Amino acid sequence: MGIRPYNVVIMKTINYNPSPLEVNIAEALKGLEKTIDKELSGFEIIKVENKINEDNPMVKFYFLDNDGDPHEVVLKIIQLPDKF
């Protein structure tokens, strides 16, 4: 029986907490607030909370529906490790 070589994984992205890609996507989503608001039927965005410095950045949208009821949608951005 010979020596088995190890599979070596080389990751080009070093920082994932948060990664630059995660931060850029979170910022882009926040910047799309007006565009998203135009596309929604029956809901109005009243606030966007952008927590980009967390381990996995989060963008939280606060809405009011036509009846005046509040709603929240949370988008958590998670970049998977590089696969080579």
| Number of other residues whose CB lies within 10 A of the CB of residue 78 | 12
Q: Against a cut of 0.85, is the pTM above it?
A: no
Q: What is the pLDDT of residue 81?
A: 81
Distance of CA 77 to the CA centre of its chain: 2
CA distance 21 to 25: 6
Chain segment 17-72, per-residue pLDDT in tens: 788 999 999 999 999 999 999 999 999 999 999 998 888 899 999 999 999 999 99
The CA-to-CA distance between both ends of the chain, in Å, stands at 28
Cβ-based burial of 22 (10 A; exposed 0-12, middle 13-18, buried ≥19):
buried
Question: What is the number of domains present in the chain?
Answer: 1
Confidence check: pLDDT of 8 > 80: no
